[in-house]
Amino acid sequence: MTTFGKSLKSFGVEIIKTLKLIARNKVGLFGMIMVLAITLISFVGPLVVPPETRAHPELINKPPSREHPFGTDFQGRDNLTMVIHGGKDVLLVAFLAGVLTTFVAVTVGAVSAFFGGAVDSFLMTITDIWLTIPRFLLLVVVATLVELENVWMLAVFLSVFGWPGLARQIRSQVLSLKKREYVEAAQLLDLGAGHIILREMLPNMMNYIMIALISAMTSAIYSQTGLVFLGVVPFGNNWGVMFSLAYAKNAIYNPNAAASLLAPMGAIILFQLSLVMFSRSLEEIFNPRLRAGV
């Protein structure tokens, strides 16, 4: 068997092992299935379902029916179709902002705790100052001054404001790990800060880091939805835009138009709930003792 074949077989074995670990927790398994389903619908659905490109005056604000399970909006467009086409940007921003926020927080928290002294004092002073600022209000103000042209810019923008709280939590975790025997042994062997942090500490924090990533993703969803609702990020056709437009057209006062608010809000809640449920399986995946038992 070639080296590539062996690597492919090993990868397949690890995938199967991971799926078995996830299946141990039924709630976590259901959450993973829902996350994958929502992701598939959001990215593949628009390729299958034609977009709503014109208004239908005769169908304005119709309640849910067999033809329109999620009702119609203020222009008579099908809310289900709008939900399918509106998920991609929300999911992309949530994932990118979550990854960037977690990366910055882990870097700042780990470096601060590991080196201590002046480095720790300097980084934590910046973190504490950033924590005292009302971040969402500042987020709104800065968003009115900065032109956010695409999901990448919005993700970077959200991550800049989202890392301080997580950085302090990571710092506490690293301070605890510094007292472990294997870390002290690595320091005595002079393996270097990079090796100790990346190879000794972070693998033992992966469960915590992944849960923090999910938390950062849910926070990013709230933040981007809030910015879209306030009209400071007026791009795309996502769930936040759907909710904002429905609210602006007084859907809250029209019982027949309630579906226009509930459809995007339900999609956001369902995706966040799926992420939280999936996080219950992360202990099974990243705990070395549990992996060894499969």
Residue 220: CATH number of its domain: 1.10.3720.10
**Domain span at residue 105?**
17-50+66-292
Q: Which among 128, 108, 109, 112 is positioned nearest to 120, based on CA atoms?
A: 112
**Stronger pLDDT, 287 or 217, i.e. the higher one:** 217
4 has a pLDDT exceeding 70: no
Residue 244 has pLDDT above 70, yes or no: yes
Is the pLDDT at 5 greater than 80? The verdict is no
Q: How confident is the model at residue 12 (pLDDT cuts 50, 70, 90)?
A: low
Q: Do the domain assignments include residue 7?
A: no
Tell me how many domains the chain contains.
1
What's the whole-number mean pLDDT along residues 200-227?
A: 84
pLDDT at 6: 61
**pLDDT computed for residue 99 by the predictor:** 92
Residue 265 within any structural domain of the chain: yes
Provide the H-helix boundaries in the chain: 3-24, 26-48, 79-115, 117-132, 135-145, 151-162, 164-177, 181-188, 193-195, 206-230, 239-248, 258-278, 282-286, 288-292
Q: What is the largest CA-CA distance in the chain?
A: 77
Mean pLDDT, rounded, of the chain: 83
User: Does residue 217 lie within any of the structural domains?
Assistant: yes
234 located within any domain: yes
What pLDDT is attached to residue 270? 92
Kindly report the CA angle at 57 between 53 and 61, in degrees rounded to 5? 95
- Which of the two residues, 268 and 292, has the higher pLDDT score? 268
- Better-scored residue on pLDDT, 95 or 55: 95
Residue 38 in any domain: the answer is yes
For residue 30, is it within any domain?
A: yes
Q: Is residue 61 part of a domain?
A: no
- Give residue 103's pLDDT band: very low, low, confident or very high (50, 70, 90): very high
Confidence label for 19 from pLDDT (cuts 50, 70 and 90): confident
Q: What is the pLDDT, as a whole number, of residue 290?
A: 55
Give the mean pLDDT of 235-254. Answer: 81
Residue 8 lies in a domain: no
Is residue 64 pLDDT above 80, yes or no? yes
